[in-house]
Amino acid sequence: MALYGYQEIRTPAFEATELFRRGVGEGTDIVNKEMYTFTDLGGKELTLCPELTAPVIRAYIENNMGAVTPISRLYYIDSLFRQERPQKGRLRQFHQFGAEAIGSPYPEQDVEIIALAFELCVSFAVGKVRVRLNTLGSPAHRGTYLEDLRGALTRYGDQLSELDRYRLENNPLRIFDSKDTHTQKIVAQYAPPLWDYISNEDREHFQSVRNGLEALKIPFEQDPSLVRGLDYYTRTTFEITSERLGAQDAICGGGRYDDLVEELGGKSVPAVGFATGIERLLLAAHERPKEVPLRQPLDIFLVFEPEPASATAIRLAQRLRQNGYSVVMETLRRSIKAQFREANRLGAHWTLILGGKEMAAGRVEIKEMLTGTQKTVSLESIFSSSRGYKQILKSFSL
Ligand code: HAM
């Protein structure tokens, strides 16, 4: 995330149920049958978050984040809850890693988000993935399409399940989410192609997104049936699937949602984002992530003899941390040899040694682990408040 300039956001575990009804949409599977909803003692209806785009936008509006910067790049890692039948890759409590870029209407932003999601999958070595891409156009032009879709499919209404008839009547786009194979056949055969209803601006936007992905050599395929199961999408939608997963093969999904901020009570601000299912990412990853460092680099390991150096060592570690160094100090009172082994295990850049001899001389020994170069510095110079910071830095340039 740091490579792409995204900052972490944390939102509460539950939100007002109304947020998801309005954000994700009545008629979606999530809102209709998957939310864990309860009433608190004050009679408020609350829901354990089933997704985080709506909560992030709620927080964005409430904290007036748009006033601070015209573009907010945010990411999250969190637990989510959906009442679904558990199976491989589908859990009732699961985890998502996601990113939302709020503020830009331009295709570069769609490309950045898709590239970020794609690179993440690649870095986890998830095998062969497919990027499916579609555009839903702008909702302003969707009215005619929805009318025609309803008109075309209502003829087959008596062949549809009660739920699918409800979808067709109240939220026709959601008919594409149907898991009923008969409905799927009818939709494939008789639904008018959404692409025919897309405006020229929407087509141009889509073309620019495709060009950007081609420039990055990210392979993708256009899939006109990819409407995604949440109501907020406008224009671009995408999903990344892995051949290593079974029926639940989507590692991540996302898209543009230019109207959500306004629908939830904010100004009209465009946005695009994605979320990755962490459990699915791990299921698909055979190897460990390649480029991701598995541990934080450690600046200093502080080796010391408790008698007589304990109090000084504690102060020294604090002083170094106050100056921005990461420091681990021995707390198991192991032998000096064992402490050095630990410094090596942790990959410390420097080891500071504070034994009886050093204490007596009022000095500390600094060793650069990679080169073995050693240097002695007076404790006084490290602790002296005025010159402390510079002196410490100078002491370490061995
Ligand atoms: P979503 O497609 O509902 O989109 O979920 C994104 C990913 O979360 C899925 O591709 C899947 O990997 C994982 N996932 C979903 N449900 C489960 C489950 N029950 N068990 C395990 N993993 C699951 C969203 O949530 C949107 N908020 C994405 C987004 C962000 N769109 C724009 N910004």
Torsion sign across C-alpha atoms 239, 281, 26, 169: positive
96 CB within 6 A, ligand 1: yes
Q: Give the rounded percent of residues in the chain with a pLDDT score beyond 90.
A: 80
Q: What share of the chain is helix, strand, coil (3-state, %, to 5)?
A: 45, 25, 35
- pLDDT(266) > 70: yes
- pLDDT(146) > 80: yes
Which pLDDT band, with edges at 50, 70 and 90, does 127 fall under? confident
274 CB within 6 A, ligand 1: yes
Least confident of 68-72, 123-127, 205-209: 123-127
Predicted local confidence at residue 205, as pLDDT: 98
Quote the ligand 1 centre to 254 CA distance (angstroms): 8
Q: Give the rounded percent of residues in the chain with a pLDDT score beyond 70.
A: 95
Which pLDDT band, with edges at 50, 70 and 90, does 80 fall under? very high
Q: Give the count of beta carbons closer than 10 Å to the beta carbon of residue 288.
A: 9
Mutate to test the pocket of ligand 1, among 24, 47, 51 (most ligand atoms within 8 A of CB): 51
Tell the CATH superfamily of the 300-394 domain: Anticodon-binding domain (3.40.50.800)
pTM for this entry: 0.82
Q: Which residue's CA is the nearest one to ligand 1's atom 14?
A: 277
98 CB within 6 A, ligand 1: yes
Which pLDDT band, with edges at 50, 70 and 90, does 292 fall under? low
Predicted local confidence at residue 381, as pLDDT: 84
Mean pLDDT of 299-317: 95
Closest-CA residue to 254 (of 137, 73, 101): 101
Closest-CA residue to 277 (of 79, 25, 3): 79
Which CATH number, 3.40.1030.10, 3.30.930.10, 3.40.190.10, 1.10.3720.10, labels domain 2-138+198-284?
A: 3.30.930.10
Predicted local confidence at residue 386, as pLDDT: 59
Mean pLDDT of 20-35: 94
82 CB within 6 A, ligand 1: yes
244 CB within 6 A, ligand 1: no
Could you identify the atom of ligand 1 that is nearest to the CA of residue 89? 21
Q: Per-domain residue ranges for the chain?
A: 2-138+198-284, 140-196, 300-394
Which pLDDT band, with edges at 50, 70 and 90, does 52 fall under? very high
The first and second tokens of residue 188, run together, are 């494939």
Quote the ligand 1 centre to 119 CA distance (angstroms): 17
Quote the ligand 1 centre to 135 CA distance (angstroms): 18
273 CB within 6 A, ligand 1: yes
pLDDT tens-digit profile of 177-218? 898 999 999 999 999 999 999 999 999 999 999 999 999 999
Predicted local confidence at residue 247, as pLDDT: 85
Mean pLDDT of 54-63: 98
* Alpha-carbon torsion, ordered 87, 92, 97, 100, to 10 deg: 120
28 CB within 6 A, ligand 1: no
Predicted local confidence at residue 290, as pLDDT: 54
Predicted local confidence at residue 388, as pLDDT: 56
Mean pLDDT of 13-24: 97
pLDDT tens-digit profile of 340-397? 999 999 999 999 999 999 999 999 999 999 999 999 999 988 888 555 566 777 777 7
Quote the ligand 1 centre to 114 CA distance (angstroms): 15
Give 126's contacts (C-beta < 8 A, 6+ positions apart): 242, 244, 251, 281, 284, 285, 286
- pLDDT(49) > 60: yes
- pLDDT(286) > 90: no
Mean pLDDT of the chain: 92
- Name the strand (E) or helix (H) holding 330: none
Quote the ligand 1 centre to 278 CA distance (angstroms): 10
Predicted local confidence at residue 324, as pLDDT: 85
97 CB within 6 A, ligand 1: no
